[in-house]
Chain A
C-alpha cells in the first residue's frame, strides 16, 4: 500500500532530495565546528552557517543576516522571547488558536504574575481587528499571534493586528511555524517584531532547526538570552556576549540540519512559492468542497477561502477519531493526525475539546490522486453507522 501522507502540519514529508544531499555534503566537506577555530573545516562550516543566515534573512525580507538567530525549533524560539522579554506584572494578548509552544511557557510565567488574555475573533478564530483596542491594558507588553493555525489553518491578519499593536508601542511575536514557506512573509512590511519559525515544516528543512528573525525595530537589548555558554568568541570573559548572533546562540549549532534548511528554502525559491502555494490551494479547495458535502462530516477550516492555509480538521459524527484515523492508516495508507494537536486553547475555542479532531495537511508533494483517495476514504467512514459497527 502506498503512503498518502497528510500529516504535513506535524512535519513535512517527503523532503526534496536536495535537502538530504546538502546535509551529507556538509558532514563530508564542512565537518568542523562553526565559529570555533580557524582551520579549514571550521571555516567551511562557518561559511555554510553564514549562507544559511543570509538565505533565511532574504526569504523573510530581513536585510541583516545577523538578525537571524538559530534555535532547535519554534518551541525554543518562543521560550526565548517570552522568558527573555516579559517581566513580572506584564500582560500578553494572544489569538484564540495558539499552540502549547506559546500557552505552556505563558502558563509557567503566570507564577511570575504574567497574565494573558485571548483576543476576540470570528467563529473560525480569525481575530476581529475592530475589537482589539479595548483589550489593551496599561501593562500589555506583547501580542502573540499564531500566523497560521495548526488546527484549522486559519491565517491571521498579521499586518492589521501589528498596526494596532504598534500604535500602542507594543511589539508583536508571530508564530510562523505553519505559515513560513507557505504564506509569503515580509518581516517589516508585515509589522512583525519577533518572527518565529521552525525549519521542518513548510520550509522543508530537517527536524531540529528553527529560529527567530528580529524585526528592524525589535529592541534586542531588552531581551535576556535563554541560555548562556560557549560561543567561540570573547572567551576570556565569563559574561555572555551582548552582540548578535552570539548573544542568543550559545552551544554548538546544528550546522548539518541548517544546511538542509538552506537547501529546503532554495528549493522553494527555485519552484516559486507563489506557484507552489496556488497549486496547493487548488488541491485543498477541491478536498474541502467535496468533504463539506458529505453528511455527518463536520469540517473545521477558515470561513473565507482567502484566509485558509494548508491545514484543516474534521470530525465524523458518532465515530471515534482515534478509530477513524487508525482505519485510514491501516486500510487506506492515509496518515492523518488525530487528537488535540498540542493546541488545547484552539480546540476549546472550536468546541472540539477534549476529543480533538482528525487533521489533514497538504504539501507541494501532495497529488490530486492523494486527495481523491482521502475523499473516498472519508466518504466510506461517514457511511459507517458508528464506531462499534465499523469495528
Chain B
C-alpha cells in the first residue's frame, strides 16, 4: 500500500501529530526522514494511503504549519 509522510519544521510537531493520530486511532509511525527528502528536524510521521483524508483534515486544524505531505516508497 502506498505510504505517505508528513514533513514538519520541528520534531515537536511530528510528535504532536503522532500523538493526536494515535488518540484518534489512526495507525502511524514516527520515523527518520527519508534521505531524499529535505528536512532538518530528523523525524517525520508515516501513515498509509487509507488515512490520507483523515490526516489532511487533521492538519487543517493544527495550530502550526507543516512543511508538506508526500508520497514515499520508503
Contacts and interface: CB of A to CB of B under 8 A. Distances in A.
A235 B40 contact: yes
Given A38-B31, A38-B33, A66-B64, A243 B9 contact: yes
A108 interface: no
A54 B63 CA distance: 14
Nearest to A216: B63
A232 interface: yes
Contacts of A43: 11, 15, 30, 43
Interface stretch (A44-52, A347-355, A383-391): A44-52
Contacts of A50: 12, 15-16, 19
A236 B39 CA distance: 10
B10 A67 contact: no
A243 B65 contact: yes
Contacts of B16: 50, 65-66
A123 B16 CA distance: 47
Interface string A231-257: 111111000010111100000000000
Residue among A43, A54, A236, A244 with the highest chain B CB neighbour number at 10 A: A43
Given A38-B33, A38-B42, A233 B65 contact: no
B32 A233 contact: no
A233 B19 contact: no
Given A50-B16, A64-B63, A243-B64, A36 B9 contact: no
B47 to A, nearest CB: 16
A65 B63 CA distance: 10
Contacts of A53: 12
Interface in A56-110: 64-67
A14 interface: no
B61 to A, nearest CB: 10
Given A38-B33, A66-B12, A231-B10, A236 B63 contact: no
A38 B15 CA distance: 11
Contacts of B33: 38
Interface string B25-38: 00000111100000
Contacts of A38: 11, 30-33, 42-43
A233 B11 contact: yes
B59 to A, nearest CB: 14
Contact of A42 (B10, B13, B19, B42): B42
B15 A236 contact: no
A46 B40 CA distance: 15
B41 interface: yes
Contacts of B12: 34-35, 46, 49-50, 53, 66, 245-246
B7 to A, nearest CB: 12
A17 interface: no
B63 A233 contact: no
Nearest to B30: A43
A36 B64 contact: no
Contacts of B30: 38, 43
B43 to A, nearest CB: 4
A184 interface: no
A54 B19 contact: yes
B19 to A, nearest CB: 6
B42 A37 contact: yes
A243 B43 contact: no
Given A64-B63, A67-B63, A243-B64, A36 B42 contact: yes
Contacts of A67: 63
Contacts of B65: 243
A213 to B, nearest CB: 13
B10 A232 contact: yes
Contacts of A64: 63
Nearest to A245: B12
29 contacts: A35-B10, A35-B11, A36-B42, A37-B42, A38-B33, A38-B42, A46-B43, A47-B15, A47-B19, A49-B12, A50-B16, A64-B63, A65-B16, A66-B13, A66-B16, A67-B63, A231-B10, A232-B10, A232-B11, A232-B41, A233-B40, A233-B41, A234-B9, A236-B40, A243-B9, A243-B65, A244-B63, A244-B64, A246-B10
Given A234-B10, A244-B64, 7 more contacts: A35-B12, A46-B43, A50-B16, A67-B63, A235-B40, A243-B10, A246-B12
